Structure 1
Amino acid sequence: MKKQWIAVLWCFMLSFGQANAQVDNVTFGQNRVQYKDFTFSYYETDHYTVYFYQGGQDVAKYVIKQSENIAEDLQRLLDMKFRSKIDIVVYNSINELNQTNIGIYEPKQNSGGTTQLPSNKAFVYFDGTHDALDYQLRKRLTEIYMNKLLAGATVLEFIQNAVAMNMPDWFKRGFIEYYAEPWNSNAEDRLRDGIMSGRFSKLNKLEPDEAMFVGKSVWHYVEERYGKQAVGNLLYLSRINRSVENGFQFVLGQGVDETLTDWFNYYLERYIAESAKTMKRNSSYIVNYHYKRGIDYYQPRLSNDGKTLLYAKNDMGRYHVKLLDTETKKHKVLVRGGFRTNTIFTDDKQPLIAWAPDGKQAAIVFEKKKRIYLGIWDNEKKKLEVKSIEKFQKVVQIAYAGDSKNLVMSAVQAGQSDIYLYKIASTTTTKLTNDYFDDLYPTYAELSNARGIIFSSNRGSAELKEERYQNQSFFNRQLDLYFISLDDLATVHRITNTPMANEIYPQQFSEDEFAFLSDANGIYNRFTGILEDGFSHWQIKYATQNRETGSEDTITLGEGENEFEVIDTSIYEIKSSTKVAVNKLRGITLQQSNYLYNIREQQILPQKNLMVELVKQNNKILFYKMPLDSTSHEAASFVSSWGKISSDNINADKQKADSLANVKAILQKNTQHTWQPPKPHDFQSEFDYKVLLFDWDSVSKIQNNAVANAMEESGFEFKQTKVRPYFVRFSVDDIISQLDNNLILTRYQPFNPTNPNFYTPPVSFAIKFGVTDVLENHKVYGGFRLPFSNIKGNSEYFISYEYLQKRLDHKYTYYRQSITQNNIAIKTNYFEASYKYALDVLQHLGFGFAFRSDKTVYKAVDSVSLYQPNQINNWLYFKGEYVFDNTIQLMDNIRYGFRAKAFFELHKEFPFKNKKAGSDYTFNLPSMNNAWFAVIGADARYYQKIYRKIIWASRISAATSLGNRKLIYYLGAVDNWFISERSEKFDKSTPINTNNNYAFQTLATPLRGFLQNARNGNSYVVLNTEIRFPLFSTFRRAPIRSEFIRNFMLVGFFDAGTAWEGLSPFDGNNLYSETYTNSVSTIKIKRYKTPVIMGFGAGLRTSLLGYFMKMDLAWGYDTGVITKRPIFYFTFGYDF
């Protein structure tokens, strides 16, 4: 049936002979800005090629090792082998990733016939945490594997399977998210909020991102209820049966709807039971601030007097730091930057905020363009002083280090995050850690028995040493708390040890206590603790004697070190050994809060007995400002169902360590020592939050599979290979084969004064293709178009090359067109060099040069044409433009925001004349004349949201041509108008001044309700305004699979415009006249017509087979009269 519809549509479009060309398609678009040059190198293995640049070498090594692990796990899960080598591009930060050309947005008029080949390319960036890097890697590689799995391994298979299975987004994207990030406390919290609020009760009412998350939770539910093997079976059977419904029936024994119902009820029952065991929040503590749904709010920081709150907001990349007076409720913006966009990645982890201990100033770290800035807000003078930070690739977290002169930072340098002390005045730094582990959330604490920095880290041991990443495995992927005393910077103390929990946001809680957030019970709640001096580890002290001199000495080794590798027994004799206990600071902790929803951030002011918490509940971000005594150490030690499940998983792995523990016990019995670590109290322990964890000393010797949901190591060991410089290697990007009638490149056609008419190419079959290199800095694309009839003498082809590596983009194009019409053949050759300099992401300057040659050949059909000489017209031209684009595209033909373009063109005729060389030879040599014209114009468009996806779109466009030669504009009709050859599209009743030295002609559109040439002249102005109402997409939030239904929209429009010669359209010279002559007299009749014409009507929009189709019915209003019969327009391509 589908093939029949394709055939019907094909025949329908072929029934039209001509259509108006897409000459009014003004190009806009946002930019990628290269603020710095990147010199790439690469490592290569059998399966991957990993590209990196200076500062990213260690990250590239890690990426190779992890990618091999992921590949082995994915191939086992998906039951497939990936034959092609995958390219992975590593960037040092999200800021530098946004400077790449990879995935740059290129708007197209239609996607019909476009074959976007499956990409073997992934790109990742390092933001300071290896967990986030893992998530990106797993997500990108899963996308590549899934696309190959569903589409086929070869180009032919991909084309054959392109429409074979329409897998729901929540199913496919949900699986990718499920595999990319193992289920954790943050995911559980998001699901809990969606279930308890009822927001997730109906999948068809969710936005795409929420539907994707629900899909992830459904995959997690399948694993939790039916086992991990069911996940692979469900994906496999859905694919081979080309039906998700059948896959669910075969694997789970019930359909999709029944499974979704069971999924919702399963979690609803769980969360209702959990809510009865948790503390309830006091809503009177909620801080009222300027909240708007859909915007991210974070970093709430309260001044030490408890009156002023700073917080950050981020709206799709446009960020603000706001100051809120909690008493007067007045707001003030301290820092703003960025812009709303969905064409690049946005960093939702900056700006960063910290208050000085005295409350007189605050530090704000933010990024603009290629730099990191530190702003110091003087709260007394109400003044912000800004300076740049040059030492880091990224600053991850900040806090004041005891006074207003120093900061403590978690920052990224050379691909690793470490802890730094930063002097604000001198900008000098002191590095406290220097290794490949992730060191995060630093804070200053001054407790009764210690003064220093508490931070979170995934390091495996409590020791400080310089260590670059080579091939190590991260055994402890969870974050524990560590302490570095400012009086002893060479020693680090481990104060928590929880392999199944993360500890984040440490803060000083009281004179003796510190606090932190932990998900030990499956929900991020607050815990408090104290530092005490206690047992850390054993050392072995060896008494030795020199065999020659007899001198005695002692050597101390860490437990587990081989004394025979350290002590040369041929020189020294070991007399005895003693096991010595080594004491260090350690944390004694207990739970302090017991809420149902995660505490996402916290700030504590012990001197004011206040704290601030950030919580997300009912899909709203809440700030709580409350006294410290609002929660109690008496909080019940509740463990959520998710926390219990993850504990059960790891307790099973604990059995593997029992034999190691037994051996250790035997060894300890045979070793004399006098000190034993104290037994913990019943209500508190050294590393236990009332959750059954396990002995770290034993488990540290087993593999990483002790971590829940962690994938097994593949055994791949990265061996240092030669670093090779990047070289350009091209691959096919896309192939387009579609029906259209667009003018491929040139907007202007030669003007024929003897028969003014606008040539429109017939509907034809166009082939376009493109190739690009891995980094997409070099692009080569070309194409051709042939009509279905009269192929001889009617063809077009072009080829272009783009160089995008620098901030100044280059583009070089050659284009040739042959047109045969009414015994006249016009052959156009066009060469263009254009350049674009990006001012920032939203605006750019463009300029270019071109040479155009039009050769007109007259076919000899009579005695007049026999002697008609061929004509060659050559023109040089320069163009310059300014483009601003601050729009966000929501869906096809629907966007928000403002965009504008202003342009200037200068055209100069450059004729060739025959020059004789002797009596026998003539040459065509260039010469000069005074023919020239210039074009000045502008186009501005504004898209205003009305309700959800309903928008009000408005546009004004104007241009004029100057000089002794000119450009004529034909006003009226629309772009890409499909109309039968038997119908007239050009209004020949409107007179054309053939004596105005027109050199070229073009269209001024859209102005619906009229034919082309309703008005004409060397200047024009067009105003368009319309309401676009996507009928189904507006009221249905869930992703709609059918593009026909998804893009179906109603449009009501109003157009107005004028075209004229001279200074004003109201000049008397623009009155229309008709002249009648005979042998006796000449009569000239002037007819009054208003210069401005208007059109109005309604239309439909939708997509079919990738073609965006528009159908409009419009009436014209001319000189006080509305046309009796409306004009119907059927066109391809998007609206303005």
Structure 2
Amino acid sequence: MRKQIYFIPVLSLCLLASAVTAQVSQVKFGKNRVQYHRDFDEWSQYESDNFITYWYGVGRNVGQFVVQMAEQDFAQIQSVLEHRVNEKLQIIVYADLTDLKQSNIGNEEAFTNTAGQTKIVGNKVFVHFNGDHNDLRRQIREGIASAYLEAMLFGANLQEIVQNAVMLNLPPWFKQGLVAYIGEPWNTELDNELRDAMLSEDYEGFDKLAEENPKLAGHSLWYFVGENYGIATLSNLLYLTRINRSIDLGVVYAFGSPLETALQAWEVFFLQRYRIDASMRAMPELQPIPFKNKRNLPVSQLKISPNGQQIAFVTNEIGKYKVYLQHLGDNEKKVLLKGGFRNAFQATDYNYPLVAWNPNGQEVAVIYEKRDIIKLLTYNLTTHKKEVSELAPDYQRIFSFDYINPGQMLFSAEVQGYSDIFLYYPVTRQSQRITQDFYDDLDASYVKLGRKKGILFASNRPDSILKPERLDSILPIGPKDIFFYNLETESPELVRVTHTPFADERQPVQADSSRFAYISDQSGIFNRELGYLEEYVHHYNQIIVFKDGTEIKINADSTLADLDMETVDTIFTVPVVKDRAVTHPNTNYNRNILEQHAAPRKSRITELIFNQGAYRMYYGDPEMSTNIEQPATIFSTQQSEAAGRQKNSEGKHRREGHQVLEESPSRNPSETDLPAEKQDTGMVYNFLFQSEFEVDEEQSPTLQQSVQVIRPAQDSTAEDRPTTSRPLFQTRALSLSSRSGEPAIYRFRPGRITPYRLQFRTDFVTTQMDNSLLFDGLDSYQANPDGFNYPPMGILLKANFKDLFEDYEIEGGVRIPTTFNGTEYFLTVQDKKKRLDKIFAIYRRNQRFIGEGTIVPTRREVNVLLGQFGVRYPLDIFRSLRATATLRRDRIMFLATDDQSLKKPVSNEQRAGLRLEYVFDNTLDMGVNLKNGSRYKLYAEIVKRFELGFKERITLDFNKGFMGVLGFDARHYQRLDKLSILALRVSGATSFGSEKILYSLGGVDNWLFYNFDKSIPTPGGEDIAYVTLAPNLRGFSSNIRNGNTHLLLNAELRSPVFRYFAPRVRSSFLRNFQVVGFFDVGTAWVGNSPYSSENPLNTTTFTQGDLVSIKVTYFRDPIVAGYGVGVRSTLFGYFVRADYGWGIETRKVQKPKFYVAFGTDF
């Protein structure tokens, strides 16, 4: 009857409750963030018009760029989405990816991502610098777009968020693709990736592509929509999708045709392009390098030895890397270095390891990172010895490296937030800086071209003069060209090898004794181009010698306005000879060359290409003088036409013939206009100077579709396709004095930088129904001699407060039972700023019990007060060591109902405990209640009872009792296919000493209608200190077996059945609906084994009156099992479990039992 009374308010509150996150299993696991340095101790902030940007010491320069770039792009992103957010976005800037991974911000789910995806938590955006300011810009744009989309699609207030989160079920490609589309334009890399996917033999359509790569599929679809319907259509589609709570209806109302029609047009649009492009190209004719890569792991750093006989390369499996050495003759492969671990929760760092061959051909060097320390490993192929040293700590990150000679290296590295070129001497760890400015200097390679020794590198600098520059009024976001630096002359004037305002050139290497090679996407696909340097007369300088012996030099860009010829003795001209590059295309592949390297002595080249969904390596001796025609792809042609460049009569841009690049006459900073001798000649020279900067009157390019495409709703012609007045992206280097039509660069004012001060905000406030066990769920045995008292359903009110960087977290709450008996209060404070995390907690519960079986039932009040201090030392993201010290007081007071109870003293049980744990957790959430991976915990605990008195004097007695606990809990989740999993769990614990814990088996976690089986004998005596549960064992009530030791095995098959038939189902109930089959087996005992004679399971005592007492002993199998089926789903925002199980006891199947519970499974 009592259960029925309680059921009505419980059901009512469930119906009214707001959506909440499902409860997790009682055992706490969790992943870690590891701080390897103290750079995060001091943060600075800068508040601009629309953002608040934060950075720490070494990130100062990166932070300034982020401020200016975010303000530069803000208005354009806002206008595209046609939405406004009242709050300023907060951008957290990190110097590199390694530092980003050390941040405490965001839980593990928020950081589950693929490489290249910007992290978003609330209105906070996380960005990091990887040496490329254009990629940093992409992260900024994606972060802004993602924050705006969250507000636009899911609302700004709590009611809208809850409503839309339940009703608006968007496919992953929708948001990921739109964020990517706004983050960066469709480019050569994306076009190559989609080309390979769609021309692959395994291509099955958009749905399969979106399932495997939602970001690429979504980006391509939004690009298709923008090209065909115009950028303005995006905001309309977003609005219609939100109000209709369906992407299908949004597409119908926006385009006048269903989504399937649009997807068919998308497929035709790209397939036509790629098939036409493929007909004009061929795949590499070089010899493939065989290697086993069954899991198709990413390959990088393909480097060939100086003698052309061996290669080194790196494979990376989401963080677990291996460096291989392989002979090209017999293809024998050897692992040179391996490290890292598989990490699906954070972006994979493909920057490391880096590989380079020593010019002597006997050593290979590897640069890698371990615990945020950059290390250099050298391996001698003759002696097979490895030497490991640390690089100078000034380097934040190495982007590429090469050998100049056995004792000198060449780095492209990040220092103080800028990527520059350095010479490095490993023996002394000293460095010599070559470039010192804010432009990106990458892919540095040492070359010896004939008699010239120098460095080839890729950079987005606008001119060829090296000079120290700091970020101020120009943003380095232009495309990258190839430059040559002469190491012998050390002239600050570089040789500009390429000058392509709308294309990128990367990875220059020496090809043979006089030629170099690099890859360029000028044709729309990254192909190789070759070149050489030749001397030419750049200009003539005029030398004027006066009669007094002085002379003056007139540069080519200067004229003399007034000259007294009577003072002139001689005038002659001197040629100024410089180097220039002559280049020509060398390949015409149908896929991008991802990487290339060469052995100049052998004129041998290696290539890394991604084709048919796999990484493929090639090597060979190509003809260096061959000039290959490179017809432009359709995408490249469109980009050329949109940029307003000249096209030939066929409408196609072709790369053919030798391209000769000459620099216009310019002043060399080393040259001087002063007389040779500093003396006053009494003459005044009126010089007229030309500007060394080109005046560019060209207007901003417009984004315009120029190739006919297929539209799903209606036919179209080239004339009626939508255009935009301004481009979606500006890719030139921007300056404060911007041209007409371009937004001015935001002026950064250093005086507005302020130190960050600790500030807290409300992370969440929640009200929910809950009956989980708090703080380990141990009950005092003296207070509950009749069995464990499971908490009834209650209203949990909880609030969480965090500081901006989530280094400090405060959480407090109260749970009010529906019986209004046993209110619980708790408060936790976490300090995670340092590597050693600290946790403080306090818990209080006051509950009254009514005894049974007497005429006047006894009433007792139990008060539990518990305080904890814990520390956690993370070994890595998955492993940690934890320690928790506990002080607990259980006060048991009998309420006066008769004379006997009035005389009973108040009992105070005081205990101190220390618990040590080793925790591993690499599980990845595939969905609600669906995981993949493993997690386990090993723990040991000691508990000492003591008595602290304050009556007449302070007394402290430790001679009361002692308890030790050893236990483990291991779980593994195995994917059976893309949706279903097999979950396995084995757990056990034992307590020993003068006091023990009594474990009760049976039932499930968070059981709504808890039932305790009192027919099973329990061990009596004063050696039982606590009682607790050991679920799950279905088919029985709780306490089917008990003892101070328990062992339990669970197996579950979980399958979200409706997702097989309706992958796009909107209903959260159907989407999360799971059918579960389970099998549980376990035992608990007292003594040395389950079959010990000390186990009271087989003994039952029958009494009659005060004189007759009979003990009956009979056999009961201590091992019990249960099996059955169940269903799970989300109902009214709660994850509800229902199980129907049959128990097996002493080899007999029992009557089935039905369970209803809240929260997820183990």
Return the alpha-carbon distance in structure 2 between the equivalents of residues 247 and 576 of structure 1: 82
Q: Map 1:890-901 onto structure 2 (within 5 A).
A: 890-901=926-937
**1:501-522 per-position Cα deviation (integer Å, ceiling 9, x unaligned):** 1111112222221111000011
Whether the aligned pair in 2 keeps the contact of 1:496 and 1:586 (CA below 8 Å) is no
Offset of 1:409 from its aligned partner?
A: 1.6
C-alpha change, 1:1039 and 1:42, in structure 2 (3 Å) is farther
Offset of 1:269 from its aligned partner?
A: 1.0
Return the alpha-carbon distance in structure 2 between the equivalents of residues 737 and 632 of structure 1: 75
Q: Map 1:540-559 onto structure 2 (within 5 A).
A: 554=552
Offset of 1:579 from its aligned partner?
A: 11
- Paired position in structure 2 for 1:841: 877
Return the alpha-carbon distance in structure 2 between the equivalents of residues 375 and 53 of structure 1: 30
C-alpha change, 1:71 and 1:9, in structure 2 (3 Å) is farther
C-alpha change, 1:241 and 1:1049, in structure 2 (3 Å) is closer
Whether the aligned pair in 1 keeps the contact of 2:536 and 2:580 (CA below 8 Å) is yes
- Paired position in structure 1 for 2:837: 809
Residue 149 in structure 1 maps to residue 152 in structure 2: yes
Offset of 1:14 from its aligned partner?
A: 8.3
**1:421-480 per-position Cα deviation (integer Å, ceiling 9, x unaligned):** 222333322211111111111112111252211110001110111112223223x61110
Offset of 1:74 from its aligned partner?
A: 1.5
Offset of 1:94 from its aligned partner?
A: 0.9
Whether the aligned pair in 2 keeps the contact of 1:884 and 1:900 (CA below 8 Å) is yes
Secondary structure of 2:751's counterpart equals coil
**1:720-778 per-position Cα deviation (integer Å, ceiling 9, x unaligned):** 22432221111121233222211232420111477422111222222222111111111
- Paired position in structure 2 for 1:1055: 1080
Return the alpha-carbon distance in structure 1 between the equivalents of residues 1059 and 47 of structure 2: 45
Offset of 1:85 from its aligned partner?
A: 2.1
Whether the aligned pair in 2 keeps the contact of 1:30 and 1:343 (CA below 8 Å) is no
- Paired position in structure 2 for 1:473: 475
**1:29-76 per-position Cα deviation (integer Å, ceiling 9, x unaligned):** 221111111221222223222221222111111110001012111222
Return the alpha-carbon distance in structure 1 between the equivalents of residues 1153 and 609 of structure 2: 57
Residue 635 in structure 1 maps to residue 628 in structure 2: yes
Give 2:886's match in structure 1, choosing from 836, 839, 850: 850
- Paired position in structure 2 for 1:685: 659
Secondary structure of 1:994's counterpart equals coil
Whether the aligned pair in 2 keeps the contact of 1:399 and 1:444 (CA below 8 Å) is no
Whether the aligned pair in 1 keeps the contact of 2:166 and 2:1068 (CA below 8 Å) is no
Return the alpha-carbon distance in structure 1 between the equivalents of residues 227 and 120 of structure 2: 36
Q: Map 1:36-115 onto structure 2 (within 5 A).
A: 36-37=37-38, 38=40, 39-105=42-108
Whether the aligned pair in 2 keeps the contact of 1:24 and 1:1005 (CA below 8 Å) is no
Offset of 1:397 from its aligned partner?
A: 3.8
C-alpha change, 1:174 and 1:858, in structure 2 (3 Å) is same
Secondary structure of 1:607's counterpart equals coil
Whether the aligned pair in 2 keeps the contact of 1:279 and 1:595 (CA below 8 Å) is yes
Return the alpha-carbon distance in structure 2 between the equivalents of residues 849 and 563 of structure 1: 86
- Paired position in structure 2 for 1:594: 588
Secondary structure of 1:224's counterpart equals helix
Q: Map 1:500-579 onto structure 2 (within 5 A).
A: 500-534=502-536, 554=552
C-alpha change, 1:89 and 1:588, in structure 2 (3 Å) is same
- Paired position in structure 2 for 1:1073: 1099
Return the alpha-carbon distance in structure 1 between the equivalents of residues 600 and 1026 of structure 2: 77
1:126 maps to a residue whose letter is F
C-alpha change, 1:229 and 1:46, in structure 2 (3 Å) is closer
**1:931-980 per-position Cα deviation (integer Å, ceiling 9, x unaligned):** 2322221222233444445443332212111222221111122211222x
Q: Map 1:299-378 onto structure 2 (within 5 A).
A: 299-378=301-380
Residue 719 in structure 1 maps to residue 749 in structure 2: yes
C-alpha change, 1:562 and 1:951, in structure 2 (3 Å) is farther
- Paired position in structure 1 for 2:463: 461
Offset of 1:867 from its aligned partner?
A: 4.1
Whether the aligned pair in 1 keeps the contact of 2:26 and 2:776 (CA below 8 Å) is no
Residue 1117 in structure 1 maps to residue 1110 in structure 2: no
Return the alpha-carbon distance in structure 2 between the equivalents of residues 998 and 24 of structure 1: 26
**1:382-418 per-position Cα deviation (integer Å, ceiling 9, x unaligned):** 3322111134444444343343333212111110111
- Paired position in structure 2 for 1:134: 137
Offset of 1:829 from its aligned partner?
A: 1.9
- Paired position in structure 2 for 1:999: 1025
Return the alpha-carbon distance in structure 2 between the equivalents of residues 719 and 958 of structure 1: 62
Q: Map 1:881-960 onto structure 2 (within 5 A).
A: 881-913=917-949, 915-916=951-952, 927-960=957-990
Compare 409-418 and 527-536 and name the one that shifted more: 527-536
C-alpha change, 1:279 and 1:539, in structure 2 (3 Å) is same
Residue 32 in structure 1 maps to residue 33 in structure 2: yes
Residue 490 in structure 1 maps to residue 510 in structure 2: no
Return the alpha-carbon distance in structure 1 between the equivalents of residues 545 and 236 of structure 2: 63
- Paired position in structure 2 for 1:176: 179
Return the alpha-carbon distance in structure 2 between the equivalents of residues 829 and 465 of structure 1: 68
1:29 maps to a residue whose letter is G
Secondary structure of 2:1015's counterpart equals coil
- Paired position in structure 2 for 1:666: none
C-alpha change, 1:736 and 1:714, in structure 2 (3 Å) is farther
Return the alpha-carbon distance in structure 2 between the equivalents of residues 107 and 1015 of structure 1: 41
Whether the aligned pair in 1 keeps the contact of 2:761 and 2:801 (CA below 8 Å) is yes
C-alpha change, 1:681 and 1:163, in structure 2 (3 Å) is closer
Whether the aligned pair in 2 keeps the contact of 1:540 and 1:577 (CA below 8 Å) is no
C-alpha change, 1:801 and 1:117, in structure 2 (3 Å) is farther
**How many pairs were matched up?**
1059
Return the alpha-carbon distance in structure 1 between the equivalents of residues 448 and 923 of structure 2: 50
Q: Map 1:740-755 onto structure 2 (within 5 A).
A: 740-752=770-782, 755=785
Whether the aligned pair in 1 keeps the contact of 2:1035 and 2:1152 (CA below 8 Å) is yes
**1:67-117 per-position Cα deviation (integer Å, ceiling 9, x unaligned):** 101211122212233332222121111111111101132799xxxxxxx99
Return the alpha-carbon distance in structure 2 between the equivalents of residues 15 and 516 of structure 1: 65
C-alpha change, 1:767 and 1:753, in structure 2 (3 Å) is closer
Whether the aligned pair in 2 keeps the contact of 1:398 and 1:407 (CA below 8 Å) is no
Secondary structure of 1:615's counterpart equals strand
Offset of 1:604 from its aligned partner?
A: 2.0
Offset of 1:328 from its aligned partner?
A: 3.7
Secondary structure of 2:303's counterpart equals strand
- Paired position in structure 2 for 1:693: none
- Residue identity (%): 32
Whether the aligned pair in 2 keeps the contact of 1:23 and 1:1002 (CA below 8 Å) is no
Secondary structure of 1:646's counterpart equals helix
Return the alpha-carbon distance in structure 1 between the equivalents of residues 990 and 110 of structure 2: 27
- Paired position in structure 2 for 1:692: none
2:495 maps to a residue whose letter is H
Offset of 1:653 from its aligned partner?
A: 11
C-alpha change, 1:753 and 1:915, in structure 2 (3 Å) is closer
Secondary structure of 2:241's counterpart equals helix
Q: Map 1:755-834 onto structure 2 (within 5 A).
A: 755-788=785-818, 790-791=819-820, 793-822=821-850, 823-834=859-870
C-alpha change, 1:223 and 1:539, in structure 2 (3 Å) is farther
**1:214-241 per-position Cα deviation (integer Å, ceiling 9, x unaligned):** 1111111112222333334433443455
Q: TM-score, normalised by structure 2?
A: 0.85
Q: Structure 1: any 5+ residue segments left out of the alignment?
A: 1-6, 109-115, 655-679, 689-695, 917-922
Return the alpha-carbon distance in structure 1 between the equivalents of residues 470 and 559 of structure 2: 24
Give 1:1103's match in structure 2, choosing from 1130, 1133, 1142: 1130
Return the alpha-carbon distance in structure 2 between the equivalents of residues 600 and 586 of structure 1: 27
C-alpha change, 1:705 and 1:613, in structure 2 (3 Å) is same
- Paired position in structure 1 for 2:1113: 1086
Secondary structure of 2:1122's counterpart equals strand
- Paired position in structure 2 for 1:650: 643
Whether the aligned pair in 2 keeps the contact of 1:23 and 1:743 (CA below 8 Å) is no
Whether the aligned pair in 2 keeps the contact of 1:421 and 1:430 (CA below 8 Å) is yes
Whether the aligned pair in 2 keeps the contact of 1:40 and 1:725 (CA below 8 Å) is yes
Whether the aligned pair in 2 keeps the contact of 1:354 and 1:398 (CA below 8 Å) is no
Residue 222 in structure 1 maps to residue 225 in structure 2: yes
Q: Map 1:272-311 onto structure 2 (within 5 A).
A: 272-282=275-285, 285-293=287-295, 295-311=297-313
